[in-house]
Structure 1
Amino acid sequence: MSLKINIIENRLLSDHWFVLRKYVYDLVRKDGTGLRQMREVYDRGNGATLLLYNTATNCVLLIRQFRMPTFVNGNPDGMLIEACAGLLDLDSPEECIRREAMEETGYKVGEVTKLFSAYMSPGGVTEQVHFFAAAYQDSQRDNAGGGVDDEDIEVLELPFPEAMAMVADGRIQDGKTIILLQQALINGWLTA
């Protein structure tokens, strides 16, 4: 049985970086009782993320970049270690991760595996992230990476055991990256 939702108010609060809206709605629960709720919803579009891994060297390619939300939430330098990722814009998820891999890491991606899609913060953000993994080799490097336009990205090639240790000790705190590293371990692509 699905819930019935009646939207009472849909007000634009901000349209600067992405879109922030305030929703007031009546929710009719499955037992028939009503409940009025108010939520602010941040719409930033959908995205895709990719773990690049090298089975021959037992390494992963990650990036480090400044993330303002982490800075204001206590990350002293605001730098975050992540798997490459980006917003779909008008691309398909696979086109997006191929573009982002080239821009951020400098590697031209070959065959990719779609793992799944997930809402990463469904309590307030509309974004659905599409998760991918792909093997890489040094011969696929096309450029130095580092991002485009206003990005300042450092490319990191890390031994997989070190990346997993960085999750355990808190040096890697990005949710999508932690999930992708765990997928590499679960699927046996790399060894910790």
Structure 2
Amino acid sequence: MDDISDIHYGPLPPDSPYVKPFRFHYTQNGKAKSWDLLKVHDSVSIVIFNVSRQRLVFVKQFRPAVYHGLVSAEAGTDGTKIDLKKYPPSLAVTLELCAGIVDKPISWVEIAREEVLEECGYDVPVERLEEIISYRSGVGTSGALQKMFYVEVTDGDKVPSAGGGVDDEIIEVVEYSLEEARNLLQKGKMLSSPPAFLFGVLWFLTHRAPGCTS
């Protein structure tokens, strides 16, 4: 996963299917203002709990945006001056919920079901997926909508040949015990994880974890 080299930057092509930058103009209290925004896909995320082994199921993957955030202070404008020994790509391998973009003409819960199968290898019917909450991510740049789901899986739901992503995705499936998940929320913890991941873990420990009082 972190066998990465030949890092360099380039201009964003206008036909990018994922990101479209633009400038938003408006007038507030009589003053003209503008804000630079990104049009991106809405998305789903899924909190997965394996009841057979009492483990939360997460994914790990290399995130270029996280890596750029780590090295941007000293990288050249084209990215070719990055010291890969000082900043190994493994620093940008993130721990996340199973998730995916909404880019198909099917329901959000069906997209969530597909992501659970493609990324983590569990084949479950949509009826077992519970919608938790909807919220806006990237409120300063995109305001994209994300819906979070919850599903309980068993070892019997596992498809041996599935999981790890599709096409050229490289995704590692990992499992955490309840205690390991609680440790992720310790005060002062430093994680390369998105807020939705932390929110999902906290929601599970508060509302669905075995023994919780909610």
1:83 aligned residue (90, 97, 116):
97
Query: Counterpart of 2:122 in structure 1: which amino acid?
Result: Y
Residue 14 of structure 1, CA deviation = 4.4
Q: Which residue of 2 aligns with 1:166?
A: 184
Q: Which residue of 1 aligns with 2:21?
A: 20
Structure 1 pair 26/157, CA: closer, same or farther in 2 (3 Å)? Answer: same
Paired residue secondary structure (2:70): coil
Q: Tell me how far apart the structure 2 counterparts of residues 81 and 66 of structure 1 sit (CA, whole Å).
A: 9
Residue 163 of structure 1, CA deviation = 2.1
Query: Counterpart of 1:181 in structure 2: which amino acid?
Result: V
Q: Deviations over 1:35-68 (max 9, x none)?
A: 2211111111110000101345331000000111
TM-score normalised by length of structure 2: 0.75
| Aligned partners of 1:44 and 1:127 also within 8 Å | yes
Paired residue secondary structure (1:131): strand
Query: Counterpart of 1:70 in structure 2: which amino acid?
Result: V
Q: Which runs of 5+ in 2 are unaligned?
A: 1-12, 72-86
Paired residue secondary structure (2:115): helix
152-161 vs 54-63, greater mean Cα deviation: 54-63
Give the RMSD, CA atoms, in angstroms.
2.1
Q: Which residue of 2 aligns with 1:176?
A: 196
**Which protein, 1 or 2, shows the higher relative CO under an 8 Å CA cutoff with sep ≥ 6?**
2
Q: Tell me how far apart the structure 1 counterparts of residues 198 and 176 of structure 2 sit (CA, whole Å).
A: 14
Structure 1 pair 58/170, CA: closer, same or farther in 2 (3 Å)? Answer: farther
More strand per residue: 1
| Aligned partners of 2:93 and 2:192 also within 8 Å | no
Paired residue secondary structure (1:74): helix
TM-score normalised by length of structure 1: 0.83
Q: Tell me how far apart the structure 1 counterparts of residues 170 and 151 of structure 2 sit (CA, whole Å).
A: 23
